[in-house]
Amino acid sequence: MPEAAPQFCIPADIPQRIFRAYDIRGIVDETLTHNIVYAIGLAIGSEAQAQGEKQIIVARDGRLSGPALQAALSRGLQDSGCDVIDIGAVPTPVMYFATFTLQARSGVVITGSHNPPNYNGLKIVIAGKTLAEDKIQNLYRRIVEKDLEKGVGGYSKVAVIDAYIKRVCSDIQLQKNLKVVMDCGNGIAGSTAPALLKALLAPANGELIELYCDVDGTFPNHHPDPSVPDNLRDVIAAVAEHKADIGLAFDGDGDRLGVVTSAGEIIWPDRQLMLFAKDVLARNTGATILYDVKCSKHLASVIQENGGQPLMWKTGHSLVKAKLAESGALLGGEMSGHIFFKERWYGFDDGIYTAARLLEILATDATQNKRSSSELFATIPDSVNTPELKVNIPEEEKFGYMQRLIAQAKFSNADMITIDGIRVEFADGWGLVRLSNTTPCLVLRFEADDQTALKRIMKLFRTQMLAVDSSLELPF
């Protein structure tokens, strides 16, 4: 640490609401101050030592608040007695990679992911496991109850991006030259993805067209969230202008991928997952493929048709990652864009590695079948569906509402799945209502074989939801 590092203290009041289901997240200088992050560092270091971990990797994304918050985090970890290994400004998946390849199995990245520039947060791994739910709440408990270790930890710096790139390039070689448009949205993926893709494309004389790959925490061009169609307009335009084979886009911390075909079509993550599942199952018949409750019903069919075992699970990158390890699945993913490769990789969500695997599939198919990316994805089932729909509901009421809905709802000739909210599957489509783990709202999604079936299913859900609470304002 620098000799002139500031002094930190544990605040008297730390807002519990920043301790979310999958991570810690708040507004910088309001709910996430330097002293709050220092206290969180003490708690993480204490919990790590309780699990026999003494060394902790620390990283940050490209937000302007990152360096100061990382300094506060590092000081907290050191004051708990942990040794800090600083790997600098890197994508979140590079931090995960470091926990598998350095001498430390624990790590923390300061990242606001796809949130506005004034947000930041922490994603945490202890002893190889990403913290979620009660384990994140336990950090809050440690701070409040002052259940904190004291010590003097060391500090060192290690560079890992080159090792990450080398590892990916040792796994993936492209059989054909491709022209690729890549939009990093000024997020931290720009520190790593351009160099990696150039290294992959170079042997076959491929071409990379870069959009917004300079890291800038103000995000001056567009928000770094590829799940929002408006944020993909520049990629779509560049693919058309350059007659590119594929367009790729990353979120703010590089753990999610957006895809645009050669014809300018957006391929949502559940359809990406169908293509990846077919590829993985071609080499691993009978493998389990994991996906979250928001994904297309076609995904299970594609997995089964290609000799795999479909497994639906709760939404949330930490929850999917844990289930992937528990189930032994070789591939997992969720509608948000987190894709997890266990086959040939480590099982964590990695938008950059996912992009590399997609290029591998495209190059192989172009060589063998002479198809464009648009033609290849045309072989993947599609359906009529809605985006995520959100219904505002007070935080203190949403859990009770969901319990009543599950207890009272009556859907005939349908299968009801309640692993995460309520998903009702009909012969010609499905509907979902689940609780947001991060905001005071319900999240809904609908899919059907045609528009008529979609409207029928939405009407059924509307009737059942209003029967539980007639005051809800439904957006459908």
Q: Work out whether the CA dihedral 193, 196, 199, 201 comes out positive or negative.
A: negative
CB-neighbour burial class of residue 309 (10 A; exposed 0-12, middle 13-18, buried 19+) = middle
CA dist list (Å): 401 to 189, 410, 446: 39, 15, 20
* H helix or E strand, kind and range, residue 246: strand 246-250
From the centroid of its chain, how far is CA 195? 22
Residue with tokens 């160099």: 195
Residue with tokens 């997020």: 187
Those residues with Cβ within 8 angstroms of residue 380's Cβ, 6 or more apart along the chain or in another chain: 271, 274, 275, 302
CA dist list (Å): 324 to 291, 311, 319: 9, 10, 9
Residue 403 CA to residue 407 CA, distance in Å, equals 6
Do 376 and 455 form a contact (C-beta atoms < 8 A)?
no
* H helix or E strand, kind and range, residue 361: helix 351-369
Residue 298 CA to residue 393 CA, distance in Å, equals 31
Residue 161 CA to residue 463 CA, distance in Å, equals 52
Among residues 335, 467, 398, which one has the least CA distance to residue 459? 467
Residue 134 CA to residue 138 CA, distance in Å, equals 6
Q: What are the φ/ψ torsions at residue 418 (nearest 5 degrees)?
A: -125, 30
| Residue 113 annotated as catalytic | yes
CA dist list (Å): 403 to 14, 144, 289, 461: 30, 30, 29, 15
Q: Given the residues 46, 80, 106, 113, select the one marked as catalytic.
A: 113
Do 44 and 74 form a contact (C-beta atoms < 8 A)?
no
Residue 32 DSSP class: B
Per-residue tokens: 96: 């995960």
Those residues with Cβ within 8 angstroms of residue 276's Cβ, 6 or more apart along the chain or in another chain: 331, 333, 339, 341, 354, 357, 358, 361
The string of DSSP codes covering 448-461 is ESSHHHHHHHHHHH
Among residues 2, 82, 74, which one has the least CA distance to residue 40? 74
Mind telling me the catalytic residues?
A: 113
